[in-house]
């Protein structure tokens, strides 16, 4: 695996005039040219935009002006976030040639503090998937083992960081799509509290479950990026007006005395033995750091997958109704009637998985089945949220595996959607409850495949979650 500098290293070498932002961005483009043909993380490079931004940072550095927090940091963005003048596809043929007229707030906030956007990252079509094999363009390969998937749907975002093709990236997480690929690729990925980060400019999959969040190699870098993108945005009425703490400043507060919950529901059947052992070893490290390990119970966990796949598909069927071949996007040719235009445009533009979800979602929302499926799922969602509320009366964070297995082989699960869905068991709960979650590397299996430890915290308490993650990272890093 290629190594790349951390955010702090980039800032200090630019501030110390050891390198220019322009030269650094060019180095990253060279690396992308070398590495990416085998990995497939990028869909579009935004060279011109990157160079304009880098020149701006270089002017500041040479004038001796104070540098903003992400000055010159090469970043890349999952292609579900729109970027002005730069093609944004959501991994779909439907909007293959879409050049958005505005920027996603999270991207704009990163660039406003000096980040250099290198390009747009591959993902499952409309973020539907767990392996990035549902991209309409090409799959992504895991830099740690190229015969394996990088996870999904933000596979490009995780792989780009793991392969040193970007220092930090943004992804989106509707049911685990940041945390699971982070765990498969051996990097850190964070899903914030619902409302913590504006969704303005995020191409919608399931609006009540969608979140934007950062990937990087270390907890500290993820904390830095989160601080940049978090906070109220008048363009997203669901973004919360809750003060954003200085996550980085709080990282080094000792974890001693914090209570870490462990729920037996996350360690049952289906959990790979080596994953279990690595996660338990990480929890032991936390005990060693003075955390109190407390058993908790999340009794409705077994209903999380069906609940998620009802709510997510219902919302997706509604959100995706806009791709009708009329206003923008793919339009079938040679059609004779309006209904044929809708039918053939949607048939030709969407991939298999997206169609499956539109059909499922339309079904659960249909008049005769709404109460039995959609309404029931909303009720179970409340029960799942209450499980967490109960548990967080007793503990400050909850520790769990991120995924029941390490990265699987490309092609292994594509024809078995149910097996693919079931693997989301440990991640979808946080989206249904809206609580924050993070995945950090905590070990490897006998094939040297990375294993992720997941931590959850109370709504808007990313600070405590990051603190525990940082302590655990320090304790499990090689040589400690």
Give Cβ neighbours of residue 385 (< 8 Å, ≥ 6 apart): 432, 433, 434
Residue of 72, 74, 114, 129 interacting with ligand GLN (CB under 6 A): 129
Question: Which listed residue (119, 143, 150, 175) binds ligand GLN by CB under 6 A?
Answer: 175
Binding mask of the shown chain, residues 388 to 427, with x at each position contacting ligand GLN by CB under 6 A? ------------------------------------x---
- Alpha-carbon distance of 293 to 276, in angstroms, equals 16
Instruction: Catalytic residue, from 153, 239, 317, 439: name it.
Output: 153
By CB under 6 A, is residue 153 in contact with ligand GLN?
yes
Residue 177 sits in the site that holds ligand GLN (CB under 6 A)? yes
Choose, from 177, 239, 317, 403, the residue flagged as catalytic.
177
What minimum distance in Å lies between the beta carbon of 354 and ligand GLN? 11
Determine the Cα–Cα distance for residues 74 and 49; give it in Å rounded to an integer.
12
DSSP conformation letters of 126-172? GG--SSSTT-SS----BTTBTTB---SSSHHHHHHHHTTS-SEEEEE
Nearer to ligand GLN, 20 or 177 (CB): 177
40 binds ligand GLN (CB under 6 A): no
Q: Which of 71, 82, 137 is nearest to 107 (CA)?
A: 82
**SS3 at position 213:** strand
Q: Which residues of 207-230 are buried (b: 16+ CB within 10 A; e: fewer)?
A: ebbbbbbbbbbbbbbbbbbbbbbb
- Which residue's entry shows tokens 């119970």? 297
Q: Among the candidate windows 50-58, 96-104, 128-136, 360-368, which touches ligand GLN by CB under 6 A?
A: 128-136
User: What's the rounded Cα separation, in Å, for the pair 443 and 450?
Assistant: 6
| Distances from the Cα of 397 to the Cα of 146, 159, 329, 439, 467, angstroms | 34, 27, 43, 13, 10
Helical H runs in 350-375?
A: 352-365
127 part of the interface to ligand GLN, by CB under 6 A: yes
Residue 437 binds to ligand GLN (criterion: CB under 6 A):
no
Neighbouring residues of 258: CB distance < 8 A, sequence distance ≥ 6:
291, 292, 396, 397, 464, 467, 468
Site membership for ligand GLN, residue 128 (CB under 6 A): yes
Least distance from C-beta 26 to ligand GLN, angstroms? 33
Binding to ligand GLN by CB under 6 A, coded x per residue (else -) over 256-295, reads ----------------------------------------
Hey, which residues does 365 pair with through a beta bridge? none
Instruction: Read off the tokens for 266.
Output: 């996350």
Q: Is 164 in the site for ligand GLN (CB under 6 A)?
A: no
Q: Which of 88, 89, 122, 130 binds ligand GLN (CB under 6 A)?
A: 130
> Toward ligand GLN, which CB reaches closer, 175 or 434?
175
If the CB atoms of residues 206 and 395 are measured against ligand GLN, the closer one turns out to be 206
- Applying CB under 6 A, the site for ligand GLN has a residue count of 13
CB 161 within 8 A of CB 36: no
Q: Active site residue: 53, 78, 120, 285, which one?
A: 78
Task: By CB under 6 A, tell whether 157 contacts ligand GLN.
Answer: no
Q: Which of 174, 198, 454, 476 binds ligand GLN (CB under 6 A)?
A: 174
Q: Which residues are paired to 75 by β-bridges?
A: 117, 168
CA distances from residue 128 to 131, 350, 353, 377, 457 in whole angstroms, order as listed? 9, 12, 7, 19, 25
Q: Is 48 exposed, middle or buried (0-12, 13-18, 19+ CB in 10 A)?
A: exposed
78 is catalytic: yes
Residue nearest to ligand GLN (CB): 177
Q: Does 132 bind ligand GLN (CB under 6 A)?
A: no
CA distance 70 to 115: 5
Our finding on whether 149 is near ligand GLN (CB under 6 A) is no
153 is an active site residue? yes
Task: State the binding string over 9-28 for ligand GLN (x if CB under 6 A, else -).
Answer: --------------------
Report d(CA 247, CA 252) in Å as an integer: 10
Among 173, 387, 396, 473, binds ligand GLN (CB under 6 A): 173
310 membership: H or E segment, kind and range: helix 304-319
For residue 342, the surrounding DSSP H or E stretch is helix 338-349
Nearer to ligand GLN, 74 or 192 (CB): 192
Q: Is 311 in the site for ligand GLN (CB under 6 A)?
A: no
Quote the tokens at residue 309: 């796949």
139 lies in the binding site for ligand GLN (CB under 6 A): no
Q: Does 312 bind ligand GLN (CB under 6 A)?
A: yes
Instruction: Give catalytic status of residue 131 as yes or no.
Output: no
Between 201 and 240, how does the x/- string for binding to ligand GLN read (CB under 6 A)? ----x-----------------------------------
Say if CB 323 and CB 307 are below 8 A apart: no
Does 430 interact with ligand GLN (rule: CB under 6 A)? Answer: no
Strand ranges of the sheet holding 116-121, from the earlier edge strand across to the other edge = 42-45, 116-121, 74-78, 168-172, 212-216, 188-191, 437-444, 450-457, 397-401, 259-263, 292-296
How far apart are CB 450 and ligand GLN at their closest, in Å? 18
Out of 143, 176, 195, 443, name the contact with ligand GLN by CB under 6 A.
176
Check residue 150 for interaction with ligand GLN (CB under 6 A): no
| 463 is a site residue for ligand GLN (CB under 6 A) | no
CA nearest neighbour of 204 among 96, 98, 315:
315
* Residues labelled as active-site residues: 78, 153, 177
Residues in touch with ligand GLN (CB under 6 A): 127-130, 153, 173-177, 205, 312, 424
């Amino acid at each position: 695996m290629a190594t790349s500098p951390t955010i702090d290293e980039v800032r200090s070498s630019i501030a110390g005039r050891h390198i220019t932002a322009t030269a650094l961005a060019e180095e990253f483009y060279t690396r992308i040219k070398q590495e990416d043909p085998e990995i497939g993380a990028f869909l579009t490079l935004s060279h011109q935009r990157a160079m304009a931004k880098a020149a701006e940072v270089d002017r500041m550095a040479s004038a001796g002006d104070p540098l903003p927090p992400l000055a010159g940091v090469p970043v890349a963005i999952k292609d579900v976030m729109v970027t002005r003048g730069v093609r944004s596809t959501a991994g779909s043929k439907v909007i293959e040639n879409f050049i958005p007229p505005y920027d996603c707030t999270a991207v704009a906030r990163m660039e406003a503090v000096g980040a250099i956007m290198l390009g747009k990252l591959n993902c499952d079509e409309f973020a539907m998937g767990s392996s990035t094999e549902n991209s309409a363009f090409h799959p992504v390969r895991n830099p740690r083992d190229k015969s394996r998937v990088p996870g999904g749907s933000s596979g490009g975002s995780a792989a780009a960081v793991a392969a040193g093709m970007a220092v930090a990236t943004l992804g989106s997480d509707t049911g685990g799509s940041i945390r699971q690929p982070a765990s498969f690729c051996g990097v850190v990925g964070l899903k914030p509290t619902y409302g913590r980060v504006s969704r303005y400019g995020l191409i919608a999959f399931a609006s009540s479950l969608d979140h934007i969040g950062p990937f990087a190699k270390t907890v500290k870098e993820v904390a830095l990026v989160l601080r940049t993108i978090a906070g109220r945005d008048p363009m997203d009425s669901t973004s919360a007006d809750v003060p954003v703490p200085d996550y980085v400043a709080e990282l080094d507060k000792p974890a001693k005395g914090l209570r870490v919950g462990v729920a037996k529901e996350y360690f049952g059947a289906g959990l790979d033995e080596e994953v279990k052992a690595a996660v338990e070893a990480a929890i032991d490290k936390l005990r060693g750091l003075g955390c109190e390990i407390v058993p908790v119970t999340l009794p409705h966990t077994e209903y999380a997958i069906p609940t998620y796949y009802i709510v997510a598909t219902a919302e997706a069927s509604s959100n995706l109704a806009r791709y009708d071949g009329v206003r923008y996007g793919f339009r079938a040719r040679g059609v004779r009637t309006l209904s044929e235009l809708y039918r053939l445009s949607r048939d030709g533009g969407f991939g298999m998985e997206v169609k499956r979800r539109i059909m499922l979602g339309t079904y659960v929302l249909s008049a005769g089945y709404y109460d039995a499926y959609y309404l029931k799922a909303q009720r179970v969602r409340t029960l799942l949220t209450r499980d967490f509320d109960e548990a967080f009366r007793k503990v400050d964070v909850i520790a769990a595996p991120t995924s029941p297995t390490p990265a699987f082989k490309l092609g292994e699960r594509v024809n078995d959607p149910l097996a693919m869905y079931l693997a989301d068991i440990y991640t979808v709960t946080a989206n249904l409850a809206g609580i924050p979650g993070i995945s950090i590397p905590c070990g490897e299996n006998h094939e040297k495949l990375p294993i992720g430890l997941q931590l959850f915290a109370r709504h808007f308490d990313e600070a405590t979650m990051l603190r525990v993650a940082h302590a655990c990272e320090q304790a499990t890093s090689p040589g400690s």
